[in-house]
A and B are shown apart, each in its own frame.
Chain A
């Protein structure tokens, strides 16, 4: 089966610009997570979707970050406007209903200058 797809793999933008990341989890994985991994730290949850609904976005900086999963399949995470501290790897993961294991994509490495 195909793995979790993410694009782009790398992105460099200037502060105050906007950026969007895309994720397509493994087919049938109803739960989708976006994590932020800052250099030297472990991944931290930004937002969790169950199908097309948000389950947990308590740690999402909503003044600048937004995410959607309109059809309950692929998802987009947007940052507008970006700050220097947003430089990180953005990871997407999926999980099947009833499953305990999350499957991660390769991530998007964002550099904000």
Chain B
């Protein structure tokens, strides 16, 4: 069965600091990878996705993620965080279009001024 590990439960950063959130998955076949964000009081929103091709994908709001197949990783990055990035971030994987998403436990990001 697929599983997703997110290494950090809670990350606290100052504004303008760089961000990297870890995500590792366990599945040996072809995967589709996602990062979702959940702002306080709001629903899950897609940040970015990887299906195939260039392993470095860019998403909304300056976020990017790199798929490293040999490490089964899909880490999320942002060069300079803002206070408005305070949210919960979820990594998710699916093996095909028809299978449900398997989510990690999430990482709570708090950005302080």
Contacts and interface: CB of A to CB of B under 8 A. Distances in A.
Same complex origin of A and B: yes
B90 A101 contact: no
A82 to B, nearest CB: 23
Contact-size category for B: 20 to 34
B51 interface: yes
A43 B103 contact: yes
Interface residues of A, number: 25
A26 B104 CA distance: 25
B5 to A, nearest CB: 11
Given A45-B100, A104-B36, 12 more contacts: A43-B90, A44-B103, A45-B101, A91-B44, A95-B97, A98-B97, A100-B49, A100-B94, A101-B34, A104-B45, A105-B43, A107-B43
15 contacts: A35-B101, A40-B105, A42-B92, A42-B105, A43-B103, A45-B100, A45-B102, A55-B98, A91-B44, A100-B32, A100-B49, A100-B97, A102-B101, A104-B36, A105-B43
